[in-house]
Structure 1
Amino acid sequence: MSLSTLRARLIEKLEPASGWSPDGAATRSDFDLNPGTARPERTLRPAAVLIPVIAGPEGATVLLTRRADSLANHTGQIAFPGGRLDPGETAVEAALREAMEEVALDPTRVEVLGVGDAYETGTGFLITPVIGWLTEHPDTNPAPDEVAEVFEVPWDFLMDVANHRRDAWDREGQPRRWYWAMPYGERYIWGVTAGVIRALHARLYDCEAAPEAAAAEDAA
């Protein structure tokens, strides 16, 4: 794993956090794989997630959570730490606050490298992915009413398009809905989380002449 190459690529390709604006528009969305689905006119609710990239001795990993089974929505789903912006907050402030509240991730240990493409969810949120860099595996303590589990996934697994697949689910009387999925062992990464990961891959590597070779360089 070339951690220095990966960190440099993130800084080069991401939008500087200082360039974030609450008036930004979505670049990616749940509708990308479902172009025939009607897109409702609505005011999107601003939210942010933290994508913690951990530069460990065996290579980079990404911290993810499994949502608590007691939650009313998205029970048990794989997610990044994150949530709605409080009034007056920036995306970075919200992402770091939510990570502290959800898994006790110390914000002083996170170097914010930039933000990724804003993502519109089918449920009406505009999510800003905030990419943070940690130089060692952090101590975490999940809030039991929000998070059931904290775990890490290798960066090279998430950035390998061979692990990105299009899955679908059918609801009676409604069109089939397609979404990105990245099964990792017994964990099923899908929906918005997988869509945000896929968008990050595109931002980092799609402009390369040989995108998979470039991704492999970061994962060597």
Structure 2
Amino acid sequence: MNRPDIISKFNNRSSSIMGIKVKNSVLLPLVSINQEWQLIFQVRSQQIKSQPGEISFPGGKIEPGESSRNAAIRETSEELGIQTNSISIWGQLDLLVTPFNMMIVPYIGEIHTLPKDFNINLQEVSEVFTVPLDFFVKENPYKYRMQVGITPPHDFPFNLVPGGKNYPFKQGEYPSYFYIYGDYVIWGFTARIIKNFIDNLS
């Protein structure tokens, strides 16, 4: 391959994150109820394969050719059954890159018109509820530190790396947060996104 061919491959190329196989986008949706900001959450349906019964923000996979922003709006509209013109994006929170080859692009926005009865997509969502923003501002989440490490397969070529089987593979820490609001337990990716949002509000 000659010089111009190599340059053409990388000139104006947008960077990505190595190893990411799944790209999702979510919306942290705020709504004003009786002049008080509240966060909207959904309980995931028992019918879906990924994390059934858990609490999440609306969101999902970014489709080919779709922007992460548009994906957040589309998924929120589809899951909560509201019109896209009722959704305003205010900004973007920090990217969440997981140890599981997945990236989540979180946005913060406002739901302008809250229907009396959500026309939710029952295949994906079983319940919708709100929590006052002030709860998260005042409440420190429970935090647990989980260790993340590399487990080489049995046929890993240790003979090709310095130190062989004694090679010092790096270890990492993965924080897990829990917010408990009444009977609702909000944890996992959703709690990490909330924590990031609250930290940036401070």
TM-score higher than 0.5? yes
Equivalent residue for 1:194?
191
Distance in 2, matches of 1:72 and 1:120, equals: 21
1:76 is aligned, of 50, 53, 61, to 53
The change in CA–CA distance for 1:185 and 1:193 in structure 2 (over 3 A counts) is same
Equivalent residue for 1:121?
98
Distance in 2, matches of 1:145 and 1:134, equals: 22
Distance in 1, matches of 2:137 and 2:15, equals: 29
The yes-or-no answer on 1:152 pairing with 2:130 is yes
Q: Contact 1:67 / 1:146 at 8 angstroms: preserved in 2?
A: yes
The yes-or-no answer on 1:112 pairing with 2:89 is yes
Please, which runs of 5 or more residues in structure 1 have no aligned partner? 1-21, 26-40, 206-220
Distance in 2, matches of 1:169 and 1:67, equals: 24
* Correspondence 1:29-108 to 2 at 5 A: 42-108=19-85
Equivalent residue for 2:201?
204
Please, which runs of 5 or more residues in structure 2 have no aligned partner? 1-13, 152-170
Corresponding residue SS for 1:199? helix
The yes-or-no answer on 1:141 pairing with 2:138 is no
Computed over aligned residues only, the root mean square deviation of the Cα atoms, in angstroms, reads 2.5
Larger radius of gyration: 2
The letter of the residue matching 2:23 is P
Aligned-pair CA distance for 1:65: 0.4
Aligned-pair CA distance for 1:121: 2.5
Residue by residue over 1:28-87, the C-alpha shift from the partner in whole angstroms, topping out at 9 and shown as x without a partner, is xxxxxxxxxxxxx72242211011110222400011100011222201110000011001
Distance in 1, matches of 2:79 and 2:45, equals: 11
How high is the TM-score relative to the length of structure 2?
Answer: 0.73
The letter of the residue matching 2:189 is V
Distance in 2, matches of 1:94 and 1:51, equals: 13
Aligned-pair CA distance for 1:191: 0.6
- Number of residues of Structure 1 aligned to a counterpart in Structure 2: 165
The percent identity for this pair of structures is 28
Aligned-pair CA distance for 1:125: 1.8
How high is the TM-score relative to the length of structure 1?
Answer: 0.67
Aligned-pair CA distance for 1:23: 4.2
Q: Which has the higher strand share?
A: 2
The letter of the residue matching 2:28 is I
Residue by residue over 1:116-144, the C-alpha shift from the partner in whole angstroms, topping out at 9 and shown as x without a partner, is 11111343221111111134434522111
The range that moved more, 83-92 or 42-51, is 42-51
Distance in 1, matches of 2:199 and 2:21, equals: 23
